Amino acid sequence: MKSLIRVRKGFTLIEILVVIVIIGILATMGIGKYAQFSRDARKSGCVNNQNTIDKGIGMWESKYTNFALKANANGAISCKFYMNGKKFDFAESSGRFPSRFKATNKDDEVYDQIQDETIFICPESANAYSGIDNIPQSDKAATTDYKWFMFARGTTSGSLKPTGGKLRGTGCLVWGTVADKPDRGPGGDVVTGGDQSSGPSGTEADLHSGIL
């Protein structure tokens, strides 16, 4: 006696369309989360770079104890770094850098304490170039991502935003509170934002300010 149960083969068109729609919704949600995680990871990497640069300057001070850095009352000193780790562009509104620190033949001294060129490159810059390996040496020697500060005791909290509220530290010039709308990437592509008030997501919450 033959079975009266019919075995259905395959899926109906409606079922296939439903599955495709569900997969599309899940993929869209996943892409959004991935973008957020990727942005957060770049911010975390940038903050770690800032802290490492500050430690590198601290190691330089420890090595040359006769050349202590100093910021006078209500003043500040600052120094920018190229992507290749060379220091340049010193500012001394009220205070001083030792002459050795600013000497042109000593511009690698802080880099020598860190021994890692990638520390001086903001992950947002690396992302704009589609990877650090794609950044030409000519750009590394002419572009700056980080600026180190030392403020005097008693400095107002508003002035300490570049360093995350600390009297000394490093600020990000790409997505930080000292950002100056720099060009990044092949052909000088503009990294959207960098306006000292908003981070990669368009809010203040993820500024690369030296704190997480």
Give, for all 212 residues of the chain, the pLDDT tens digit.
555 556 566 667 777 777 787 777 776 666 555 567 888 899 999 999 999 999 999 999 988 877 778 888 778 899 999 999 999 999 987 778 888 898 889 999 999 999 999 999 999 999 888 899 999 999 999 999 999 999 988 888 888 888 888 899 999 999 888 987 767 777 766 566 678 888 888 888 888 888 77
Q: How many helices (H) and strands (E) are present in the chain, helices listed first?
A: 5, 6
Q: Which tokens belong to 115?
A: 């021994």
| CA distance linking residue 85 with residue 156, whole number of Å | 30
pTM across the whole model: 0.81
**Three-class HEC string of 109-158:** HHHHHHCCHHHHCCHHHHHHCCCHHHCCHHHHCCCEEEEEEEECCCCCHH
As a 3-state breakdown, the chain gives helix, strand, coil percent values, each rounded to 5, of 45, 15, 40
Q: Are 93 and 77 in contact (CB under 8 A)?
A: yes
